[in-house]
Chains A and B, each alone.
Chain A
Amino acid sequence: MKVKVEDKLFLDRFRVDEEAHIRIIDNDICIKNCLDQPCLYFCPANVYKLEKDRITVAYEGCLECGSCRIGSPRLNIEWRFPTGGYGIAHKFG
C-alpha cells in the first residue's frame, strides 16, 4: 500500500537542530559493501534515501527510535540523541 510518510510526519512537532544528530560514517560502505541497504525500508520516518551514488540523511524528521544505529548491517550509521530540547516533541505520546 502506498502511503507518503511526509503526510504522517506532518502531524508531528519537531524542533530542528541545525546540527545533524545522524551521520553516515562512510558512504562507500553503503554503496559498495551493503547489498540490502535495509535502512531504506525499516526507518519509520524514511530518513534514508538512495540518490545516485550516495545515501542521504533527512535527520529533521527522525522519530528517534534508534533502529538505524543497530540495524545498519555494517554499523555504518552514527546516531546520537539530538541536543537537549531538540528533535521530536510528542503532543500525546
Chain B
Amino acid sequence: MREEFEVAIVGAGPAGISAALALAEKGIKVIVFERGEFPGAKNVSGGVLYGHDLAESVPDFIRRECPVERNIVESRVWYLSLDGGFNVSFRDRAFEEGLSFNAFTVGRARFDRWFAGIAEEKGALVVCGTTVTDLLRDGGGRVTGVRTDRSDGDVTARVVLIADGVNSALAAKTGFRAEPEPNDVALAVKEIIELPEEVINERFNVEAGHGVTIEILGEITQGMDGVAVIYTNKNSLSLCIGANLFDLMSNTVRPYEMLEEFKAHPMVAPLIKSGRPREYMAHWLAEGGYDTIPHIYGDGYLIAGESGMLFNALHREGSNMAMASGRLAALTIAGALARGDTGSESLAGYAAALQASYVMKDLKKYRRFNRFLLNHKELFSTLPRLGASAAREMLTVDGISKKEKQTSIRRRIQGAIPLARLARLLWAGARSIG
C-alpha cells in the first residue's frame, strides 16, 4: 500500500472517526486503520454516549438512524453495603423532550460501525483488520506515517493521529505516551444481560425508548477503589464492575468473581432476574486524570481520546471527550496542512484548543479525584457498612428509643473511624471535586 495520504489515523473509535469525518468534510485525504474486523469490534464503554458532542459531527444523527438503545431520562447513584444500600435518583421531563438524547445508551459494536460509515460517506477511507505496529519516522524523529501488519504495509502521511484507545500498545512502544502505572487505570469487566424490552420498561419504571443509568459505589468492590454501573439498553442491560488495577493486583480478586457477586447483590439480582448473559468483555478506564495526560502533539503527530488519557472518572465521561478531542485535532491538522507545515509548532494549536475547551477544564478541576479515592479506602468498606447499619437501626421498630439508637450509632461510628479522619476525608473529598 505505497500510497500517500495527508492524514493517517490509528483507531476507528469515537476520537479517530470524529477526526476523520471532519477532515473528509474539508476534502482532506484521510485513511483510518482499525485492528478489529469492523469498527467497534474491539471497543467497549459502559455504553453511554452524549448527544452534544455527536451532534457537532453528525447534527442529524437521529434522522440518520444512529443505533440508539435508550434515551436516558433518569440517573441513579447507589451506595451499597454487602446486604443493601442507598439510592439517590433524578428524573426530569426535560430529558424526555427538549433535552432528549442528552445522554443515551449504545452498543459500541453497532455504534462505531455506524459512525465510521458516516465518515466513509464523506470520503474517509476506513481500513479494518489492520493493526498499526509502529510509526514511521525520518532521521530527525519526525513522524512520517504508519507501519501496519499487512505485507508491504507502510503508509506515509503528513500527519498521524494516534487514537487507538487507552490500551495503546502503540503509544507505549513508540514512547509517545508512557505506559500507565497500574494505579492510573481501572480494569472493568462488562456483561450484557438480555431481557425482554417490556420487562426492562417495568423494572426500571420507564416508557418504551427511555432508559436509566445507575452508577454504583460501595462494598461491592470489596474494599478496592472501584465502581459498578447498570445501564439499560433496548432489550438488554449492561452490567460493569471494575477496580483500580493496582488494588486488583494487591487483593487477589478475580474480576469475574466480583462480577458474579455483584449480580447476586439484593439490589441487583431482582433487576437481572431470568436475564440471559450474552457477552462478556473487559476494558481499562483511564482514571489517572489530568496529571497522566501525555504530551499530545509533536512533529507530525497528535494524540486524541483515551490514548491521551482523556477521561472524566467522576462523571463517567469519555466518549464525548474522545469526539471533542478528535474534532479539535482535525481542525488543527487542517490548518497545518493549509500552512504547509505539520511540525510540532504548527500543531501546537491543538493543545491550546483542548485547554480552552471543557475537556481540559473538567479534567483539571477533578485532577485530585483519583488520588482521593485511592487514599480513602473507607469509602469502599467502613463507610457504606456504617451507613447501612445506621439506617437499618433507625428503621428497625423494636421498642428502643430513637435517642438511644442515635447514641449507639454515634459510638459505633467513633469506634470504626476516628472523627478527625472522617473530617479529613470529607475535606479531601470536597477539594478533589471542587
Bound: A84/B32 CA distance, A: 13
Q: Is the CB of A69 within 8 A of B169?
A: yes
Q: Given the interface contacts A41-B248, A85-B36, A90-B109, does A12 sit within 8 Å of B281 by beta carbon? A: yes
Q: Is the CB of B264 within 8 A of A44?
A: no
**A55-78: which have CB < 8 Å to B?**
63-67, 69-71, 73
Q: Is the CB of A45 within 8 A of B282?
A: yes
The residue in chain B whose Cβ has the minimal distance to the Cβ of A83 is B149
Contacts of B282 in A (CB 8 A): 44-45, 63-65, 67
Closest-CB distance, A11 to chain B (whole angstroms) = 5
Please, how many residues of chain B have a CB less than 8 angstroms from a CB on the other chain? 61
Q: Is the CB of A41 within 8 A of B179?
A: no
| Interface residue B256 (Cβ < 8 Å from any Cβ of A) | yes
Q: Is the CB of A89 within 8 A of B182?
A: no
| Interface residue A36 (Cβ < 8 Å from any Cβ of B) | yes
Q: Is the CB of A42 within 8 A of B245?
A: yes
Bound: A70/B179 CA distance, A: 7
Bound: A45/B346 CA distance, A: 44
Q: Which secondary structure characterizes the binding site on chain A? A: loop
| Interface residue A2 (Cβ < 8 Å from any Cβ of B) | yes
Q: Is the CB of A15 within 8 A of B187?
A: no
Contacts of B358 in A (CB 8 A): none
User: Given A12, A38, A41, A70, which contacts B280 in the complex, CB threshold below 8 Å?
Assistant: A12
Please, how many residues of chain A have a CB less than 8 angstroms from a CB on the other chain? 39
Q: Is the CB of A42 within 8 A of B253?
A: yes
Q: Is the CB of A64 within 8 A of B167?
A: yes
Contacts of B253 in A (CB 8 A): 41-42
| Interface residue B41 (Cβ < 8 Å from any Cβ of A) | yes
The residue in chain A whose Cβ has the minimal distance to the Cβ of B108 is A93
Q: Is the CB of B281 within 8 A of A66?
A: no
A interface footprint on B33-73 (CB within 8 Å = 1, 0 otherwise): 00111101111110100000000000000000000000000
Query: What are 22 pairs between A and B in contact, CB < 8 Å?
Result: A1-B261, A3-B257, A3-B259, A12-B280, A12-B281, A42-B187, A46-B256, A63-B280, A66-B284, A67-B248, A70-B185, A81-B133, A84-B129, A84-B148, A84-B149, A85-B128, A88-B42, A90-B41, A92-B233, A92-B278, A93-B47, A93-B110
Interface residues in chain A, defined as those with a beta carbon under 8 Å from any beta carbon in chain B: 1-3, 5, 8-9, 11-12, 15, 36, 38, 41-42, 44-46, 63-67, 69-71, 73, 79-85, 87-93
